[in-house]
Amino acid sequence: MHADEAEDLSAELDARADAYGPKFTDADTVDSFLGKNGRFAKEIPGFTARTGQLELSRAAKDAFDRGQILVAEAGTGTGKTYAYLLPAILCDKTAVISTGSKALQDQLLNKDLPRICDLLHVPRNYFALKGFSNYLCKAKFAQFIADFKNKTGLAIEDPDPEHRRYVALVSKLVKFMVQQQSMADQDDPRCEYAEVNSRFPHDFIAPLCCDRHSCRGKKCKYHSSCFALMARQRAVRSKIVVVNHALFFADMGVEDNFDPTRPCILFPKYKILIFDEAHQLPDDGRKHLGREVSSYDIKKLGEDLEALIKAEKLDIIEEFKKGYARLKTAAEHLHAYLASRGSPACRNFLFYRYEDFDESSADPGRKYEKISLEFRRLMAELWTGIKEFHDFIADIKSADDEAFGSMSKELMQMRLTIEDLMHLNDEEQRQKGENVGSVEVNRYGFALKITPLEISGIMGKFFEKCESAGVGVLAASATLSVAGNFAKFRRDMGLGSMQVSELCVESCFDYASHAALLVSKDFPEVNTAGREERIVCMLEKLIGENEGGIFVLTTSVNAVGAFAESLRRRFMMQRRILVQNGKLSNSDLLKEFRRLGNAVLVGTSSFWAGVDVPGNALTLVIIDKLPFQSPSDPVYKARCDHYDSGLRQGARSFMELSVPEAVIELRQGAGRLIRHEKDTGALVICDPRTVKKGYGSLFMKSLPPVTICKDLEDLFRFKAGLKNFNRE
């Protein structure tokens, strides 16, 4: 969908604003809905008015009405989703909600939005839009079914269980596709336009999804009924559009979409913008506003181009194979060189210097090696291969100019990315300090990346346009501040000089009575040999006697393995030890953990946030270390250097970057414990720096007001005196 089409749809939307249903009147207040005697308390069984929820909802409504920016921290249990959805639904304005994950999108779409809309008797005029690759491609699906019928047929009598499983998946997909098409034809508001990634195994469905390489645009015979296109049309027509941060930033990067008043290919012209899980914005922004060239992209582009040439029946297939062979060889040579520089599993390093970090050293040193002449030669070989391939595509004359044009544009972007990487070390670029180049390599391939060190400049310009256009903005999360201070978030988002309202709403949970925290200087120092074994030994009685499930949250994959091994030796006969090791998906691990009720789950980063296990299934959370970023991470190291280089006056990376980010991450991990007002449990932080170092006080001040225990005896006394310690 082009911008002019989006403009027309947005105008249509404005013209039928009355169809949005009831709105706030002068007599209506947030309290009349969320208050003690409000509609929600009367009509929702078990609903309880919460002071924090009312405060946040009032502030959100005011920001939306006035077109201002509100940064809000809402503690766990506040009910922030209802707090911002109520004014967003009842305000006579179009809204975009950006969430931290697809899972949260689904929760809003399938649970929260329909419940509130039905309660308020307003039309369900909302839609959850996901990235292009989440939707089933009709052209690929048609070819897949044709091949399937020719090769295997639809019979399920085959005794092979894998075949039967595969046939069952195909049958399920066909039924789902037919259902979605029927709903689309009827303009059913419940239609999700064959969003399939959340419903089918990735390895099965990924080859059948839309992708930018193979899309033929208007030349495709299914263009007019394309699910991905219809999803975007539906989004532009909706009063509320729910996206995730990745899609929001991807659109900003592709469209240069810094003007919220201008409809684009994804969003309508909105007047309300809500960032849920806003603490993720800095990291997500750096990730999705960057650029990369990977061996996977090169391989996929070649495969799709070959398929397009054959589909167009162009007499250039041999010439294509020769050109692609040269490019593929160049990529293979570079990969072989990069793989030889580090471990065969995975290696990340700065583009212009290879970095080794010795965690066992008392004085951790970094060894730098300037980029070698061989690396320069191989990069030049890759650049030449891409250039020649680009020139070849640019000269192709075909009826499908749109598809070839898209591929040509992508190859040009690859060329420019490599050129920019090769010039990042120039004096002028170093002085600017805006981007960092890095290399990621594993046994399968490589990725050459350009990542912005900060997104404050981009986001600052964006928020300025929001402010001037009267767009009401809410950035909300349970973890935005450091010891009650929003300075870091404001700095990261470029909000320093702008008029921004701030609100900090405490959780309604009684943490002091329901949760205890064990911190001690007696835990082994970080980076000491056998540390994981010693921690398990120290906590053996606590783990053995704990009734309910246990999380062991670590900061590295190596620690996951070490903890798992030690726990299995001691508790294999008492508890299931579930390990995040790639054999099961995170969702399957979590499902099994909840089912068992008393298991131990050992996991790393992805289990620190966005995981909800209320009740007796989780009563003990053990945190390995304070979650500082690894100093060997090349982008993080470059950000620290940027802080300490004098380019930011008075800035010191450790206290202004490392500590605040670790504080927010720790708050996320600790937040897994208490998810409901009746939940009880214990949190153990096994890092002596929490009490030994001066900065440890920032971590302690940022945690919920739990009961502090200095040793295990203190913790056992707390447990003995806590009625109903084990959750019912």
**pLDDT tens-digit series, residues 355-376:** 333 344 333 333 334 556 788 8
Of 172, 193, 222, the one marking the end of a domain is 222
Least confident of 352-361, 593-602, 656-665: 352-361
Looking at residue 681, which CATH number applies to its domain? 3.40.50.300
CA–centroid distance for 114 within its chain: 24
Res 678: pLDDT: 86
More confident residue, 382 or 637: 382
Instruction: Answer yes or no: do 426 and 383 share one domain.
Output: yes
Instruction: Answer yes or no: do 637 and 524 share one domain.
Output: yes
78 part of a folded domain: yes
Of 473, 489, 504, the one marking the end of a domain is 504
Give the confidence band of 8 by pLDDT, cuts at 50, 70, 90: very low
75 part of a folded domain: yes
Give the confidence band of 408 by pLDDT, cuts at 50, 70, 90: confident
Instruction: Answer yes or no: do 416 and 540 share one domain.
Output: no
Instruction: Answer yes or no: do 303 and 384 share one domain.
Output: yes
Task: Compute the distance between CA of residue 454 and CA of residue 433 in angstroms, rounded to an integer.
Answer: 10
For the segment 217-227, the average pLDDT, to the nearest whole number, is 85
Tens-digit pLDDT profile for residues 465-484: 899 999 999 999 999 998 88
Give the confidence band of 224 by pLDDT, cuts at 50, 70, 90: confident
| DSSP string for 17-81 | GGGG-----TT--THHHHSTTSHHHHHSTT----HHHHHHHHHHHHHHHHT-EEEEEE-TTS-HH
32 part of a folded domain: no
Contact 540, 610 (CB under 8 A): no
For the segment 313-318, the average pLDDT, to the nearest whole number, is 86
71 part of a folded domain: yes
Res 60: pLDDT: 96
| 531's tokens | 């540390």
Instruction: Answer yes or no: do 541 and 688 share one domain.
Output: yes
Give the confidence band of 254 by pLDDT, cuts at 50, 70, 90: low
Give the confidence band of 727 by pLDDT, cuts at 50, 70, 90: very low
Res 153: pLDDT: 53
Res 16: pLDDT: 42
229 part of a folded domain: no
Task: Compute the distance between CA of residue 331 and CA of residue 287 in angstroms, rounded to an integer.
Answer: 23
Tens-digit pLDDT profile for residues 149-179: 777 555 545 567 777 788 888 889 999 999 9
pLDDT at 611 > cutoff 80 = yes
Task: Compute the distance between CA of residue 157 and CA of residue 605 in angstroms, rounded to an integer.
Answer: 44
Task: Compute the distance between CA of residue 99 and CA of residue 357 in angstroms, rounded to an integer.
Answer: 35
Instruction: Answer yes or no: do 523 and 376 share one domain.
Output: no
The total of structural domains in the chain comes to 4
Give the confidence band of 429 by pLDDT, cuts at 50, 70, 90: low
The domain of 61 spans 3-22+52-125+238-288+456-504
477 strand-pairing partners: 73
CA-closest candidate to residue 574, choices 543, 614, 617? 543
Instruction: Answer yes or no: do 341 and 466 share one domain.
Output: no
Tens-digit pLDDT profile for residues 37-73: 888 888 888 888 899 999 999 999 999 999 999 999 9
Instruction: Answer yes or no: do 119 and 148 share one domain.
Output: no
Instruction: Answer yes or no: do 263 and 296 share one domain.
Output: no
Contact 674, 515 (CB under 8 A): yes
pLDDT at 350 > cutoff 90 = no
232 part of a folded domain: no
pLDDT at 574 > cutoff 80 = yes
Q: Distances in Å between the alpha carbon of 406 and those of 216, 305, 387, 395, 418? A: 9, 11, 15, 13, 19
Instruction: Answer yes or no: do 674 and 697 share one domain.
Output: yes
36 part of a folded domain: no
**Beta-strand pair 366-370/353-357:** antiparallel
For the segment 649-663, the average pLDDT, to the nearest whole number, is 82
Q: What value does the mean pLDDT of the chain take?
A: 83
Give the confidence band of 265 by pLDDT, cuts at 50, 70, 90: low
Res 204: pLDDT: 87
Contact 24, 122 (CB under 8 A): no
Instruction: Answer yes or no: do 366 and 311 share one domain.
Output: yes
Contact 255, 78 (CB under 8 A): no
CA-closest candidate to residue 626, choices 569, 589, 670? 670
109 part of a folded domain: yes
Res 22: pLDDT: 58
Res 516: pLDDT: 95
Give the confidence band of 414 by pLDDT, cuts at 50, 70, 90: very high
Q: What is the pTM of this model?
A: 0.85
Instruction: Answer yes or no: do 578 and 477 share one domain.
Output: no
